[in-house]
Amino acid sequence: MEGRFNKKIISFVLLVVLLAELVVLGYFYYLFQKEVAQNAIALEAKISDLEDQNMFLADALYKEQQKNSEFASQIKQIAGTVGKLDILSKTDKELLQKYSKVYFLNENYIPEDLVNIPPDYVYEEGKKIKFHTKAFPYLQEMLVSAKRNGINLKIISGFRSFGEQGALKNAYLVTYGSGANQFSADQGFSEHQLGTTIDFTTPELGANFDNFKSSSAYDWLLSNAYKYGFVISYPEGNNYYQFEPWHWRFVGKGLAKRLYEDGEYFYDLDQRTIDSYLINIFN
Specify the 3-state DSSP secondary structure of 273.
Answer: helix
Of 209 and 226, the one with the shorter C-beta distance to Zn ion is 209
Of 154 and 247, the one with the shorter C-beta distance to Zn ion is 247
The residues in 218-277 that bind Zn ion, with binding defined as CB under 5 A, are: 247
Of 91 and 157, the one with the shorter C-beta distance to Zn ion is 157
Question: At what angle are helices 136-148 and 216-224 packed, to 10 degrees?
Answer: 120
Q: Does 132 interact with Zn ion (rule: CB under 5 A)?
A: no
> Among 104, 273, 257, 76, which Cα is nearest to 189's?
104
Q: Which of the stretches 30-38, 166-174, 191-199, 255-263 binds Zn ion when contact is defined by CB under 5 A? A: 191-199
Rg (CA), the chain: 46
Closest approach of Zn ion to the CB of residue 277, in Å = 22
Q: DSSP code of 117?
A: P
Closest approach of Zn ion to the CB of residue 177, in Å = 20
Of 91 and 218, the one with the shorter C-beta distance to Zn ion is 218
Rounded Cα gap, residues 279 and 277, in angstroms: 6
Specify the 3-state DSSP secondary structure of 155.
Answer: strand
Measured torsion, CA atoms of residues 203, 164, 225, 149, in degrees rounded to the nearest 10: 20
Of 91 and 233, the one with the shorter C-beta distance to Zn ion is 233
Closest approach of Zn ion to the CB of residue 236, in Å = 15
Closest approach of Zn ion to the CB of residue 225, in Å = 14
Q: Does 199 interact with Zn ion (rule: CB under 5 A)?
A: yes
Q: Which of the stretches 39-47, 113-121, 199-207, 260-268 binds Zn ion when contact is defined by CB under 5 A? A: 199-207
Closest approach of Zn ion to the CB of residue 210, in Å = 12
Q: DSSP code of 154?
A: E
Q: Which of the stretches 165-173, 175-183, 192-200, 211-219 binds Zn ion when contact is defined by CB under 5 A? A: 192-200
The answer to whether the beta carbons of residues 157 and 129 sit under 8 Å apart is: yes
Mode of pairing for the β-strands spanning 130-132 and 197-201: unpaired
The answer to whether the beta carbons of residues 212 and 201 sit under 8 Å apart is: yes
Closest approach of Zn ion to the CB of residue 186, in Å = 13
CA geometry: angle 255, 76, 69, nearest 5 deg: 140
Of 247 and 253, the one with the shorter C-beta distance to Zn ion is 247
Using CB under 5 A, list all residues that contact Zn ion.
199, 247
